[in-house]
Amino acid sequence: MLFDLKGKRKRMVQVVYLALAILFGAGLVLFGVGGASGGLIDAFKGSGGGGNSSAFSDLVQRSEQKAARNPRDPAAQLDLLRAQFNLASSTEGSDAETGALTDRGQQAIIEVAQAWERYLRLKPKKIDASAATFAALSYGALQDYNKAVKTQKLSVDARPSANGYFQLADFAYRAGQVKTGDQAAKEAIRRTPPDQRNTVRSLIKDTKKQDARFAKALEQAKKEQRKQQRQGAQGGQGAQPGQSFGPLPGAGATGAGGAATP
């Protein structure tokens, strides 16, 4: 884990990351990522999450079987992607308040990314915008923000919206891609109803500031991890790079769903 650090630095990273996770999750709840609505005004209406976890597990199992029977069918991969994402968003997969992933939720998020990559390899004629959003959120939970940016771009290209561009800006700032973030933020504001633009500008300003702190802390954590891996290799133990996970952005906010197979 990137944040398995020591002492004051560990505490600093945890505090910064928790604050960002809350802001990030709140932003996605407000902006209704993955929902049917397209305007930021619907941000304040909200939607329920959670649900019967066993039902989500059953859906994953059925989707896995369907994808195994139809490995060349893009729709089967999308069904699996959605099923896994829904499981990760459920109470079985993540905490409804913080988005912190359980062990099962972490596995589901990995499989969302894998299903998305299999879907892309099938070269679909038209990218599914919602699935791209779910995949981008999963890359965000994996703390792979460069892939999150790339995937969210596919989503907004397929279905432009203020919501989508706000999400793209957030991922870009976390990835340290400030220019891309500023361009996406500008587009998010442009697509926002005029009477809400000041609110959105304020949210983007706060998000950019905190994401910059997060990006710095994340880069430092990565350096610490690489250093520990080099020391382990020099000591004859070999590097042990663990998978890094953050909270699931917007967990429980959309009930969107997504899945992947091992």
Provide the residue ranges of all domains of the chain, joining segments of one domain with +: 7-234
- Taking the C-alpha atoms of residue 20 and residue 247, their distance in angstroms, rounded to an integer, is 10
Q: How does residue 134 score in pLDDT terms, banded at 50, 70 and 90?
A: very high
Q: How does residue 52 score in pLDDT terms, banded at 50, 70 and 90?
A: low
- Taking the C-alpha atoms of residue 36 and residue 42, their distance in angstroms, rounded to an integer, is 10
Q: State residue 54's pLDDT score.
A: 78
Closest CA to 27 of 247, 257, 260, 221: 247
Q: How does residue 172 score in pLDDT terms, banded at 50, 70 and 90?
A: very high
CA distances to 7, 79, 193, 230, 254 from 82, in Å: 39, 5, 30, 38, 12
- Fold held by 7-234: 1.25.40
Q: State residue 98's pLDDT score.
A: 77
- All residues at 6 or more sequence positions from 3 whose CB lies less than 8 Å from its CB, including other chains: 10, 13, 14, 17, 221, 244
Among 114-118, 135-139, 233-237, the minimum mean pLDDT is found in 233-237
* pLDDT tens digits, one per residue of 88-107: 988 888 887 777 888 999 99
Quick one: CA torsion of 84, 86, 90, 96, rounded to 10 degrees? 120
Among 17-21, 67-71, 252-256, the minimum mean pLDDT is found in 252-256
Among 20-24, 78-82, 102-106, 200-204, the minimum mean pLDDT is found in 20-24
**pLDDT for residue 198 is more than 90:** yes
**pLDDT for residue 117 is more than 80:** yes
- DSSP annotation string for the chain: -TT---HHHHHHHHHHHHHHHHHHHHHHHHHTTTSS--SGGGGGT-------HHHHHHHHHHHHHHHHH-TT-HHHHHHHHHHHHHHHHSTTTB-TTT--B-HHHHHHHHHHHHHHHHHHHT--SS--HHHHHHHHHHHHHTT-HHHHHHHHHHHHHHS--HHHHHHHHHHHHHHT-HHHHHHHHHHHHHTS-GGGHHHHHHHHHHHHHHHHHHHHHHHHHHHHHHHHHHHHHHTTS----PPP----TTTTTS---B----
Among 5-14, 77-86, 147-156, 230-239, the minimum mean pLDDT is found in 5-14
Closest CA to 145 of 176, 106, 189: 176
- Taking the C-alpha atoms of residue 52 and residue 258, their distance in angstroms, rounded to an integer, is 16
- DSSP annotation string for 141-195: HTT-HHHHHHHHHHHHHHS--HHHHHHHHHHHHHHT-HHHHHHHHHHHHHTS-GG
